[in-house]
A and B are shown apart, each in its own frame.
Chain A
Amino acid sequence: MSVSPSPRAGLARPSPALLRWLGALVGVGLAAVTWATGGAPGLGERALYDLAASRLLPSVPPTADLVLVEVDDRALAALGERWPLSRSTWARVFQALAARHPSAVVVDILFDQPGPRDALELGDDILERLRATGLDQTPAGAALVTELETRLRAQDGDARLGEALSEAGVVILGAIGLQEPSPPSASGDAPPGPPLPLSSQGLRLQFQGMATSIAPLRMAAASGGTLNMLVDPDGVIRRYPYLQGAKDRAWPSLALATALHLYPERTEALLRAASIDSGAPLMRLPTVDWLPRVSLSDVLQADPKSVGLDLALRGKTLFLGVTATGLHGQSTLPGQIAVPGVEIHAFALDNLRAGRVMRSAGAIAAAGLLETAALLGLFLWRGRRARTLAGALGWAGLGLVLHTALVGWLAADLGWVLPFVPACVGLAWVSCTEAVARGEDLKRQRGALKRLFVRYPQAAPETAVPPAREDVR
């Protein structure tokens, strides 16, 4: 009878030392992957980052000079209009806001198509006929022409909105980056405002085209920025794209455009901060209801002499956006769901001007890689020399504590987000290998002692019976 060899007999079992090094390499490899993919939070640590960012890191302190003017359900009910609001209504809104002398009005709304012009064209035709037939030369005809011109002027919502934007002088309009070339339209594909003196190479968010507000509104506005967000594959927004690339140029986001408008003397510093992490740094998060809110219905219906509303809006940066049910974007931030997009632009502005943005790519990710390598190398060195398994695991625990403290401190105080999970994975792997190796060593030593005992059997001292002496008998 022949005995077939076990299929595993031919495989050499890797040595414990090799497994330890493999564990360390896995940790370092994960940190390297995090570095190569743009920094933390990397593979498998997004949920942990969200928990830390929303619960453990200090939140953004409240600010008094940013206000959300929301087109909410109450405002729509008060206006008696369905969405989208007419351009004439928007003109009224901007006139009402301008009357409160804000420092800026940031608009999270796109006016990318002209308003309806059918009535205007009909009026134009009638005017033309009146003139062609000479009726405008009669007293009644002339009066009719004058009245018609006045009413047509009032009906031209786009022109009135342009005038309102121009009169306000502080309105910053939004635009939307497109992943395909812009379709031909009245809004065109020219991004708002001038491009920034920065390269678009390497920016995280790149576009092929741009949908902007129609040209007369763009021309009347003070500035403009893009509304796009950088959404991670799990649907959560952790980074804000201050800089976005389109047509080989770098263009500002709405928050950056606002900051440049408000603080022109700090342009260089703002652009430097916006360029962190390829133009899209991680955001520090505010608490829920961080942004003071004013309903648009209050703005439109308040007494022009209202002191309360004046206090709420005068000199403030107003973010105008939609929060009405079913109309606002359902963005998700770490620890917060269904956040209107306009609020995220406000958070981002506050992060940027206060220098609170966090960085995790480039040199920080490289530092994370070195820290992971150093930690695992230290553990490989000290853990192996520990006399007992408990000692080795103690070194692992100490490494974990030090790593957690360092990562937490850097994130909270300096805003550097190092990869956390790779070092933990490496430590766990090496610790497990250490435990298994030491257990097998112990088992081997026991077996050797047992074999030794069988070969040279000896009774225990307390049970030993002295050999009988022949000469006693």
Chain B
Amino acid sequence: MKTTLLVGAGLALGLFAEPALAAPAPGACGGLRFENGRLETGSVLAPRGAQTEACLREIAEAVKARPAIRSITVAARLPDAERLEGQGLAVARAAADVLVSAGVPRTRVSVVAPPSAPDAPGQLQLAYIERAPLPAVARLRAASGDVSVGPNPAELRPRVAGDALYTGELVNTAKGAQAELALADGSVVRVAQESLVRLGTLELTAQMQRKVQLELLHGTVETEAAKGGVGSVFEVRTRGAVAGVRGTRFRVSAQGDGTSRLETLEGKVALSAERGEVDVNGGFGSRAKPDQAPEAPRALLPAPLLGAPRGGTFPTAPKLTWKAVEGASSYRVELARAADFASGTEVQTAPGLELAVPPALMGKWFWRVLAVDADGFIGYPSKIYTFDVHP
């Protein structure tokens, strides 16, 4: 399987997911809902009258605002005495004319006059057909802090775990936030705090070949690429240069100065820049500065050996200690509510070999430490231990 990290190569992503069809503010219709192909009004839509006409005009505006809607059917459900011999169709046509006069193309409006239930009052009903929705390419498996998603930076909206994500959407994590994305091919992408990732294409074929493209605009992502068939491509692109990755588990960071940093934890990664390409095996890292060839792979720092606490309950927040790792300039300490560190994770940086846990952290916590070298390369994570704070 081949995974590629492309830095600086812009992705041409034109397809955006349609936003959910939300309920507009109540108007002449008493509220409008586009639901399962039916256009529901807040109040029963009488066959005729000024109120009906105003509501139809409101509907026309709502339809024009949704280009995915390709056709509208107006049904006049009237008692048989008012429906037969073309009377029902005439009522439906009059309603359709209002829609057309309000700007809905005539070719997209059709009329029917189906029978109504006995003793039911006459009413107009509307149904629509919309362009098939785009398939979700990922799901937000876990989210902590402020995680927002949208088609562009100006339209980012908060999202929660379980939400579907579509091609072209941007995933943004604020300071202290992180998100874990489950891609449709089974791969997992962890988006660190203060990161912005665009979901590019994700194609799966019958031969288990897949093509995954992510664009890391800034920040850091850690990726566990699922196994793909021969010829599969997994690409992560960043802004300042071009890098390529082949591997199964790796971290990519896009720094503000255009430098792309890669840490391969498992498998093999190829980092490609404009001036060259280098394969980075598991346990090694490399970086590509703007307009420079990628550096030779360097060994990642090993996992630190943790000292204390290794479990137990404490009345106040304990002090975390660990052994020194040669070559480390600082240590990244991660504290999480769950052992998978997928959500609710607090990240602290410690220059020394100990860290005082913030007093605000109460209850049970999992913790681990990663050594960071002078160039910011993050090493392997330590074992995970727990502590419990109960005053």
Contacts and interface: CB of A to CB of B under 8 A. Distances in A.
Interface of A: 113-114, 117, 120-121, 123-124, 127-128, 149, 152-153, 156, 158-160, 162-163, 165-166, 169, 184-190, 214-216, 218-222, 264
B31 interface: no
Given A153-B107, A214-B129, 16 more contacts: A124-B107, A152-B107, A156-B71, A159-B110, A160-B110, A163-B112, A169-B114, A184-B133, A185-B132, A186-B129, A187-B37, A188-B35, A190-B35, A216-B110, A216-B112, A219-B114
A219 B125 contact: yes
A120 B107 contact: yes
Contacts of B107: 120, 123-124, 127, 149, 152-153, 156
Interface in B141-168: none
Q: Nearest 10 pairs between A and B by C-beta? A: A188-B36, A215-B37, A159-B110, A166-B112, A216-B73, A215-B127, A216-B127, A166-B114, A152-B107, A220-B112
Contacts of B73: 159, 162, 215-216, 219-220
Given A215-B127, A216-B73, A222 B114 contact: yes
A114 B129 contact: yes
A190 B118 CA distance: 22
- Which of A163, A186, A218 has the largest number of chain B CB atoms within 10 A? A186
Contacts of A128: 105
A216 B110 CA distance: 9
B37 A218 contact: yes
B70 A121 contact: yes
B129 A158 contact: yes
Contacts of A160: 110
Nearest to B164: A184
A314 B261 CA distance: 77
Interface residues of B, number: 27
Task: Specify the main secondary structure of chain A where it touches its partner.
Answer: helix
A162 B118 contact: no
Contacts of A149: 106-107
A159 B38 contact: no
A156 B132 contact: no
Q: Which of A152, A160, A214 has the most CB of B within 10 A?
A: A214
Contacts of A169: 114-115
A189 B36 contact: yes
Contacts of A218: 37, 127
Interface of B: 35-38, 70-71, 73, 75, 105-108, 110-115, 118, 125, 127-133
Given A152-B107, A222-B114, A215 B128 contact: yes
Given A162-B110, A187-B37, A222 B115 contact: yes
Contact of B110 (A113, A156, A189, A222): A156
B70 A219 contact: no
B75 A219 contact: yes
A153 B108 CA distance: 8
Contacts, number: 98
Nearest to A155: B107
A120 B125 CA distance: 24
A219 B112 contact: yes
Nearest to B84: A169
A186 B114 contact: no
A349 B387 CA distance: 66
A165 B132 contact: no
A163 B35 contact: no
27 contacts: A113-B132, A117-B71, A117-B129, A120-B107, A152-B107, A153-B107, A156-B71, A156-B107, A158-B71, A160-B110, A165-B114, A166-B112, A186-B129, A186-B130, A187-B37, A188-B35, A188-B38, A190-B36, A190-B38, A215-B36, A215-B73, A215-B129, A216-B73, A216-B112, A218-B37, A219-B112, A219-B127
A120 B108 CA distance: 9
A185 B35 CA distance: 11
B35 A127 contact: no
A396 B75 CA distance: 69
Contacts of B75: 166, 219-220
A113 B70 CA distance: 13
A116 to B, nearest CB: 11
A187 B75 CA distance: 17
B38 A215 contact: yes
Contacts of A188: 35-38
A216 B111 CA distance: 10
Contact of A124 (B38, B108, B114): B108
Nearest to B18: A184
A159 B128 CA distance: 10
A450 B37 CA distance: 93
Contact of A186 (B35, B37, B112): B37
A187 B107 CA distance: 21
Nearest to A113: B132
Contacts of A222: 114-115
B71 A159 contact: yes
- Which residue among B35, B115, B130 has the maximum number of chain A CB atoms within 10 Å of its CB? B115
A186 B127 CA distance: 10
Nearest to A128: B105
Contacts of B129: 114, 117, 158, 186, 214-216
B110 A186 contact: no
A120 B70 contact: yes
A186 B132 contact: yes
Nearest to A264: B118
B112 to A, nearest CB: 3
B295 to A, nearest CB: 46
A152 B70 CA distance: 13
A424 B125 CA distance: 60
Contacts of A120: 70, 107
A188 B128 CA distance: 11
A379 B184 CA distance: 65
B36 A220 contact: no
Contacts of B127: 214-216, 218-219
Contacts of A214: 37, 127, 129
Contacts of B108: 124
Contact of A220 (B71, B114, B131, B133): B114
A348 B215 CA distance: 57
A128 B132 CA distance: 22
B114 A221 contact: yes
A120 B129 CA distance: 13
A105 to B, nearest CB: 13
A382 B178 CA distance: 79
B34 to A, nearest CB: 10
Nearest to B118: A264
A190 B115 CA distance: 20
Contacts of A153: 107
B197 to A, nearest CB: 24
Nearest to A190: B36
Given A127-B105, A186-B132, A214-B129, A117 B70 contact: yes
A216 B71 CA distance: 9
A124 B108 CA distance: 9
B38 to A, nearest CB: 5
A302 B374 CA distance: 87
A466 to B, nearest CB: 106
Contacts of A190: 35-38
A165 B115 CA distance: 10
A210 to B, nearest CB: 10
Contacts of B105: 124, 127-128
A5 B133 CA distance: 79
